[in-house]
Amino acid sequence: MFDTWKIAPISTQKLTWGPTRRGTDRECKTCGVELLTGEKPGFCCGPNGNRYSAIDPLPPLPDEFNTFLNSPDISRLSRKLNLIFSFAAMESTHKFPTPGNPSFFAVAGRIYHCVRARQHDNNAVRWMLYDGFEDSAIPHRTQVRDVPSSWIRALRTSLTEHNPFASQVLSLYDLWLKRPDDFSIASIIVQDSGCAEIAAVMCYENSLRSQVSPRSLMISTTDGNPQHIPTVSRLWEPMAYPLFFPHGTLGWGIRSSGRRDQSGIIIDDTGLAESDAPTTQIWHYRARLLREPRFSIFGRLANEYVVDMFTRKLDSRLHYIRVNLDRLRAEEQDAALMGHEDVQDSDNVYLPASFLGSSHWSSNQIADSLTIAAIYGPPTFFVTFTCNGDWPEIRSKLHPGQTFTDIPVVVCRVFKQKLSRLMSLFRTMFPNAGNLLYSIQQIEFQKRGLPHAHILLKYAKDCVSPEDIDWVVSAHIPEAADEAEAVRRFMIHPFHHSNIISNVPPSPQHPLKYCEKWKDGARMCRFGYPKSNQEETSVDSHRVLYRRGEGDAFVVPHCLPLIQKFNCHINMEIAGCGHLFQYLFKYVHKGIF
């Protein structure tokens, strides 16, 4: 009877990029984007290419870029090179903390990107407007010492010749040299190519309704009165990322119907926006990231761009929620139950369940999952599937000097297809256990790391007896050399590497790994490693104690055939005992706000 959970043979299918397979051309016939096994033509440019013409290709990079394009250091230094010439520098209303370890910190006050002239030494506009692009006045000199001077000269020449905003600012510099009396009344009118003095404001003090203001570009005038351009302005991308848009090519945006002054500058972004954008933000960014090679070459800068554009999208959604808060709250069926029927201006902003990651979204997901479990029973397994940055499908797309952190788009595409194959495999790998009744999954991203998916699986038959569990889940190092190597590579808890292998525990001042904690002056693992030896697998009302021998104290529970097939960390645990499943549903659907 123990054959119920016997694992069927698992075939290995590698993902490939581009080549013809079974007569199918593995690239999009419309836009030419190279496809990965499992991807269908159209995911890059819409069904039948219906979104292809909505996003024009970017002009070719200027010849001056050949100075650094093929350097193995260009990805690592791309953010610094862009910072030198960026027309919008990050500032905060409160003192900015000194970066250290760990590299994650909270910034108090409001964060904004600001372009200044006289008031700020480290600014590309000042460098152009008052110093004429002279080498002696390069912005952020202490931070960009490792950027080759030849790169700086090449990009400076390129912007001078090709970027409309840079040429306009430099023309003011020439005016100041030749006719200083006329300089005080000169100005640059905001057009598609740029403006004189702008700032990109994004507000993080937006937990109170009275404090919320939409993210925007702001022009600071000499009289101190700010003039706003909405976050949906097409100027946003070329002003912040001259390395990506050296020609000043307009980004995604829509025409605002806000109030304008006599020169056409938008001075009020509270009005509605006309829907004149050729496509949505997401499709626009998708086309840029997939079609334009520069976003993979300038990998670290591409990471910054993706985060910035995603928050730009969220800002638009949050602004819509704030403006329509009363109507959205009234439409929520559970608003009264949540105590939001009479929210005052001084209370927290109400995020509806339609906003992904909000507490209401999380509550709804948990309720739906528990309802499924009430009908079909608690899940059988809890699986955590983690991307491996060393997968050959990822390595094949690396440029010289890059790691997986430089190509996030490739990492996500490969992980998505691997996860799809894993979910398909779960339907066939236990042929004697009955049908897969339900599966619930949630994808998360580790900080500065790789994506992973939490998965709950429910089969028709239970896997709760020690004999059944030993068929599927193991927490020991196997005897076969190749199997033992796979377990040691992927399934040893990281506390083991930091505490045992190095045998040098860090001082209390050093940052702790994510799994470590201090208790009564002792360094401990919050997941309970190392585990005690266990002669046989046993089950109590709260947890499963897996069989472990000598040397198995740091082995993470796993299913060996899955590790061998996918070559990555796959934590597989029994989830059908006691009240564990209630915790798992809350853990899988935890909100981010």
Domain ranges of the chain: 63-277+293-323, 356-588
Categorize the per-residue pLDDT at 21 as very low, low, confident or very high, splitting at 50, 70 and 90: low
pLDDT at 303 over 80: yes
pLDDT confidence of residue 213: 45
Mean pLDDT of 317-336: 67
pTM value is 0.82
- Residue 67 DSSP one-character state: G
Q: How would you classify the pairing of strands 544-545 and 538-539?
A: antiparallel
**Which of 138-142, 208-212, 337-341, 518-522 reaches the highest mean pLDDT?**
138-142
Residue 585 token pair: 């549903």
Question: The tokens 């991307």 sit on which residue?
Answer: 387
Mean pLDDT of 550-567: 91
Categorize the per-residue pLDDT at 329 as very low, low, confident or very high, splitting at 50, 70 and 90: low
CA-nearest of 493, 455, 473, 434 to 573 is 473
pLDDT at 344 over 50: no
CA-nearest of 9, 48, 13, 7 to 30 is 48
Which of residues 517 and 449 earns the better pLDDT score? Answer: 449
Categorize the per-residue pLDDT at 261 as very low, low, confident or very high, splitting at 50, 70 and 90: very low
Cα distance between residue 3 and residue 458, in whole Å: 18
Categorize the per-residue pLDDT at 385 as very low, low, confident or very high, splitting at 50, 70 and 90: very high
Sequence-distant (6+) residues with CB within 8 A of 45 are 28, 30, 31, 33, 51, 52, 287
pLDDT confidence of residue 206: 37
152 three-state secondary structure: helix
Rg (CA), the chain: 28
Mean pLDDT of 327-334: 59
pLDDT confidence of residue 533: 86
pLDDT in tens, 350-379: 777 788 877 778 888 888 888 888 899 888
pLDDT at 334 over 70: no
Q: What are phi and psi of 227, to 5 degrees?
A: -125, 130
Average pLDDT in the chain: 75
75 within 8 A of 297, measured Cβ to Cβ: yes
| Long-range contacts from 15-24, C-beta under 8 angstroms, 24+ separation | 15/393, 15/414, 15/417, 15/418, 16/393, 17/393, 17/396, 17/397
pLDDT confidence of residue 184: 57
511 within 8 A of 534, measured Cβ to Cβ: no
Categorize the per-residue pLDDT at 93 as very low, low, confident or very high, splitting at 50, 70 and 90: low
